[in-house]
């Protein structure tokens, strides 16, 4: 199989279906991952974990030109895992039966995805300005507004690789649709992109610096889905 190549100024974004058969994939996991898999109470949670970790290995292996089982993770600063050896920047998120894997060659990145659902009772975890902005949206749009705000926050957190300060002391994240957006946080300017990953999901990509070219792909492998 031909290797994948990351290009400067581009983010490769993989949409991974987690409703795949996990049995053929277990052998790609390391001992720690297999141990974690046995601790899931519900079969669908175990399946999703096995598939996303194994497929992540398969995709990374194509970029690194190594065997998927040979990939090793090390604890990074603030607990964020990093790949051993020279490696691309990457970020992984999952919700329901969809996982997103973002990779870049030359910039910090973070990705987050959430299945669309009722967010009643969750609004209080947002900051005051975010809550006020959410209240100004039509009631029918507030679940989407909350999830846009939340995925933008989480993608930035993952890109930073550190904890963010409490919502009362940090810059508010927008709730309205529209991208790219730019936000100064942690001595960097972050570009936030809404990701068109399919009906039923809200997703955000955070990239340090300028607006990147985003190549959307999906696994099981097929032609690219296009550009975001």
The residues spanned by each domain of the chain are 10-227
In a 10 Å sphere around its CB, with 0-12 CB exposed, 13-18 middle and 19+ buried, how is residue 116 labelled?
A: middle
Cβ neighbours of residue 176 closer than 8 Å, sequence gap 6 or more: 133, 137, 145, 148
Three-state SS for 9? coil
Question: Residue 126: how many CB atoms within 10 A of its CB?
Answer: 22
Each residue of 11-62: pLDDT tens digit?
999 999 999 999 999 999 999 999 999 999 999 999 999 999 999 999 999 9
Each residue of 123-175: pLDDT tens digit?
999 999 999 999 999 999 999 999 999 999 999 989 887 655 544 346 789 99
CB 93 within 8 A of CB 112: yes
204 φ, ψ to 5°? -140, 145
d(CA 168, CA 189) in angstroms, rounded, equals 20
Confirm whether pTM is higher than 0.85.
yes
Strands 213-219 and 10-17: parallel
CB 171 within 8 A of CB 185: yes
Domain formed by 10-227, architecture? Alpha-Beta Complex (3.90)
CB 59 within 8 A of CB 101: yes
Strands 188-194 and 201-208: antiparallel
């Amino acid at each position: 199989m031909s290797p994948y190549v990351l290009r400067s100024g581009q983010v490769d974004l993989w949409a991974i279906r987690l409703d795949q058969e996990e049995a053929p994939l277990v052998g790609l996991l390391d001992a720690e991952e297999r141990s974690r898999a046995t601790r899931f109470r519900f079969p669908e949670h175990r399946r999703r974990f096995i598939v996303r970790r194994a497929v992540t290995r398969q995709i990374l292996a194509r970029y690194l030109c190594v065997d998927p089982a040979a990939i090793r993770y090390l604890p990074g600063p603030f607990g964020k895992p990093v790949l051993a050896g020279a490696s691309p920047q990457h970020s992984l998120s999952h919700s329901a039966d969809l996982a997103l894997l973002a990779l870049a060659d030359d910039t910090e990145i973070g990705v987050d995805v959430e299945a669309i659902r009722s967010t009643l009772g969750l609004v209080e975890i947002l900051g005051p300005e975010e809550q006020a902005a959410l209240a100004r949206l039509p009631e029918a749009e507030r679940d989407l507004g909350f999830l846009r705000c939340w995925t933008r926050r989480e993608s930035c957190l993952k890109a930073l690789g550190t904890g963010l300060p409490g919502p009362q002391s940090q810059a508010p994240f927008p709730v309205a649709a529209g991208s790219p957006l730019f936000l100064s946080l942690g001595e960097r300017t972050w570009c936030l992109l809404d990701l068109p990953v399919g009906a039923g999901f809200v997703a955000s990509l955070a990239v340090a610096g300028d607006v990147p070219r985003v190549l959307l792909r999906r696994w099981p492998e097929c032609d690219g889905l296009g550009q975001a």
